[in-house]
Structure 1
Amino acid sequence: MLTREEGVIQIGFGLLPQFWGHGIGKSIFNKICEFISETYSSIEIIRADVNVNNIAMIKILESYGFVKMRGLDGGRFSYEYKADILRFKCLLFSNNDVEGLFEVGNLQQTPLSDFDYIISFYEESRINNFVKEMDNIGFLVIDNPAPYHYFFESRFGEIFDVYLIASSFFHAILNVQNTIFDKSGFLSSKLNVKEKQYFSVCYEEKYLYFLIKIFDKFSKNKFIQIERIMESLRDSVIIPLARETGEAAVDDITSIHWKNEDNLYLAYKATFVELEAEKIKNSIKILFNVICARDAMNPKMKIQIEKIKKNVKWI
């Protein structure tokens, strides 16, 4: 192991190739990384250089979470791994209150949410103690937007977006059988449960449901959450509604052919927005005008529209 610059330690694989295929090469690699993260508190980056032809080692690095940073002389790649990620995982694994750690896939990366996880606890009563323990060992709470939803920041500035839940609650989610109602339709699609809704919700109602959430998040400057809601609005409402009404030919979410450039097309374009207040506000105005122009609005929706007009002065 070599240290070449402050906060960085480099590992080599001179002995490891002889162990590949024997079931212990990756195990040794794991122990090396864990040893570094637990022993050297000043190390931010674990770096590994590997030959471009060493496909086996590249697969190991990438499966572990190493990210290819740049090409080097001599036909080599430089890979890096943030040590705080490993410290985080090791601390959780050694915590007897934690039953499981699950990585949540992101549809797109954002600077405010580097790593998303669900942490399950055998006893729900231990969750509050866990938060205090994490704070004591250098993972500070920087935001708590909802009960059991925390943003931790590590010593080197890594952000961990974490949901803390009881294992019994997790088990209940995974065993959902029927949908009584799902206003967005998003959760039902993810859980892949039977379509047995007792309260029907049309696309326009789902559209307005998402839009109200966007207004709420905008008033609280929760721009990252707005981006995610807009993505859900686009994929679970605007695109299928455009297909249903014939306003667009849709093969899949990435293959859409619009027949005209108004109405739902404008709403579709408005959901792709930069995270700046004025640009988000303009997109919200477009989304609001589109729903107001739709014919399929029931009396309840019209009341909600009027309430928005009354409460949101800039609309």
Structure 2
Amino acid sequence: MDDIIFAIPNKSDFEEVRQYSSSDMVTKYLTWENYKSIEDFRKFFENSYLKKVVFPNLFRKILVNGNFVGTLHMLTREEGVIQIGFGLLPQFWGHGIGKSIFNKICEFISETYSSIEIIRADVNVNNIAMIKILESYGFVKMRGLDGGRFSYEYKADILRFKCLLFSNNDVEGLFEVGNLQQTPLSDFDYIISFYEESRINNFVKEMDNIGFLVIDNPAPYHYFFESRFGEIFDVYLIASSFFHAILNVQNTIFDKSGFLSSKLNVKEKQYFSVCYEEKYLYFLIKIFDKFSKNKFIQIERIMESLRDSVIIPLARETGEAAVDDITSIHWKNEDNLYLAYKATFVELEAEKIKNSIKILFNVICARDAMNPKMKIQIEKIKKNVKWI
């Protein structure tokens, strides 16, 4: 592993930095001018490079295994935002060093500057290698800039969260789940695995002590943490033994939703038979429950599962639609299951969700395949949900 150091500039750097800053291959991607004149370069070296060495405007030379490879510039022009820029000598391009250096820069910022909320990087549109690094790290392109540049940003609390978990010896793995849609209500979803299940409770206390506060605990081992700058982390805490068990499932005794069976690709033994209408009602009851608790993001996910694992295969089975795959569906009429299908695509607003739930409820009530147990559940919903 390469030893990467961001060292404070000194006078002995003169020739190395001059070679770097006068290279056409390097400066075409940077914001500063190409210093062809040694006097112009000397002014930059003495008035900027050597003097700007403290936050919020600082230069560092980048050393890899003791060798000079380039420079780093970090500055703050607005409160809570740090802008970064770095460049490497051409002989170090294409070897993966840039990505390693970028990781080190982001870790350095997260560990050193607690007041920083946003990390920003402006990049030349032709600097494809740097754009790939930014996007792979999770930076989001915000806007175009003059001079053929893009501005990318990343939330520092996400980085702090990941770095803290990586340095925690009790945490075995961190897995990003992601969102169905990036909306104002979206959060950041993760699964955290632990080698020892007994360490999970200690972990929650530790997170609270370092500024990630628990704001909700809707189920055992399911927590919502809020960071200093208001980012929400939706986290499932799981022992790694659970993963081992789930990945070695042999048979399904029953699966009311059919979701896990399909994901794990295991066959269902016919101990219990669950028809599509029963699965539909199972999901619908979950939707009613989440709506009563204003869990709109979770409703969105349940509706996706209802659509993909029940409505679409049921429509194919009954001949109400011709289905090539989940994205290629040809409905034969625009009623019943078609209405249910459309209702699962809903904006995350209370009234719109309520209207969709009403449609879903009316559709299941109109189905013929209603056994006595389902009828009892339907009557219970009518009794308990006054607005249905």
How many residues in Structure 1 have an aligned counterpart in Structure 2? 315
| Cα deviation code 1:272-304 (max 9, x no counterpart) | 222232222222121111111111112221222
Q: CA–CA distance in 2 between the matches of 1:242 and 1:135? A: 48
**Percent same amino acid among aligned pairs?**
100
The alpha-carbon distance between structure 1 residues 223 and 106, as it changes in their structure 2 partners (threshold 3 A), is closer
SS of corresponding position for 1:13: strand
Among residues 109, 112, 115, which one is paired with 1:36 in the alignment? 109
Q: CA–CA distance in 2 between the matches of 1:19 and 1:156? A: 37
Q: CA–CA distance in 2 between the matches of 1:150 and 1:113? A: 15
Contact 1:16 1:25 in 2 (8 A): no
How far does residue 170 in structure 1 lie from its aligned partner after superposition?
Answer: 2.1
Q: TM-score, normalised by structure 2?
A: 0.78
Instruction: State which drifts further: 58-67 or 266-275.
Output: 266-275
| Cα deviation code 1:100-130 (max 9, x no counterpart) | 1111143323434421111111111111111
Higher-Rg member (1/2): 2
Contact 1:178 1:197 in 2 (8 A): no
Contact 1:211 1:288 in 2 (8 A): yes
How far does residue 24 in structure 1 lie from its aligned partner after superposition?
Answer: 2.2
Contact 1:70 1:79 in 2 (8 A): yes
Instruction: State which drifts further: 70-79 or 243-252.
Output: 243-252
Instruction: State which drifts further: 206-215 or 185-194.
Output: 185-194
Instruction: State which drifts further: 224-233 or 14-23.
Output: 14-23
How far does residue 16 in structure 1 lie from its aligned partner after superposition?
Answer: 6.4
The alpha-carbon distance between structure 1 residues 197 and 26, as it changes in their structure 2 partners (threshold 3 A), is farther
Q: CA–CA distance in 1 between the matches of 2:186 and 2:218? A: 13
Contact 1:12 1:49 in 2 (8 A): yes
Q: CA–CA distance in 2 between the matches of 1:9 and 1:258? A: 52
SS of corresponding position for 2:86: coil
Q: TM-score, normalised by structure 1?
A: 0.95
SS of corresponding position for 2:110: helix
The alpha-carbon distance between structure 1 residues 17 and 180, as it changes in their structure 2 partners (threshold 3 A), is farther
How far does residue 237 in structure 1 lie from its aligned partner after superposition?
Answer: 0.8
How far does residue 309 in structure 1 lie from its aligned partner after superposition?
Answer: 2.1
Whose RCO is larger (CA < 8 A, sep 6+)?
Answer: 1
Instruction: State which drifts further: 86-95 or 246-255.
Output: 246-255
Contact 1:214 1:226 in 2 (8 A): yes
RMSD: 1.6
Contact 1:112 1:159 in 2 (8 A): no
Instruction: State which drifts further: 11-20 or 40-49.
Output: 11-20
SS of corresponding position for 1:112: coil
Match of 1:201 in 2: 274
The alpha-carbon distance between structure 1 residues 214 and 17, as it changes in their structure 2 partners (threshold 3 A), is farther
Show structure 1 runs of 5+ residues with no match.
none
Match of 1:95 in 2: 168
| Cα deviation code 1:51-102 (max 9, x no counterpart) | 1111111111111111111111111111111111111111011111111111
How far does residue 31 in structure 1 lie from its aligned partner after superposition?
Answer: 0.7
The alpha-carbon distance between structure 1 residues 116 and 300, as it changes in their structure 2 partners (threshold 3 A), is same
The alpha-carbon distance between structure 1 residues 67 and 92, as it changes in their structure 2 partners (threshold 3 A), is same
SS of corresponding position for 1:27: helix
How far does residue 15 in structure 1 lie from its aligned partner after superposition?
Answer: 2.4
Contact 2:141 2:152 in 1 (8 A): yes
Contact 2:122 2:150 in 1 (8 A): yes
How far does residue 18 in structure 1 lie from its aligned partner after superposition?
Answer: 4.4
- TM superposition outliers: structure 1 runs of 4+ over 6 Å: none
| Cα deviation code 1:199-240 (max 9, x no counterpart) | 221111111111111122222222222221111111111111
| Cα deviation code 1:107-160 (max 9, x no counterpart) | 323434421111111111111111111111111111111111011111111111
Contact 1:141 1:150 in 2 (8 A): yes
| Cα deviation code 1:152-183 (max 9, x no counterpart) | 11111111110011111122122222211110
Match of 1:287 in 2: 360
Contact 1:66 1:79 in 2 (8 A): yes
Q: CA–CA distance in 2 between the matches of 1:279 and 1:3? A: 43
The alpha-carbon distance between structure 1 residues 16 and 304, as it changes in their structure 2 partners (threshold 3 A), is farther
SS of corresponding position for 2:87: coil
Instruction: State which drifts further: 168-177 or 116-125.
Output: 168-177
SS of corresponding position for 2:141: strand
SS of corresponding position for 1:99: strand
Contact 1:113 1:160 in 2 (8 A): no
How far does residue 17 in structure 1 lie from its aligned partner after superposition?
Answer: 5.3
Q: CA–CA distance in 1 between the matches of 2:115 and 2:305? A: 40
Q: CA–CA distance in 2 between the matches of 1:154 and 1:60? A: 25
Match of 1:278 in 2: 351
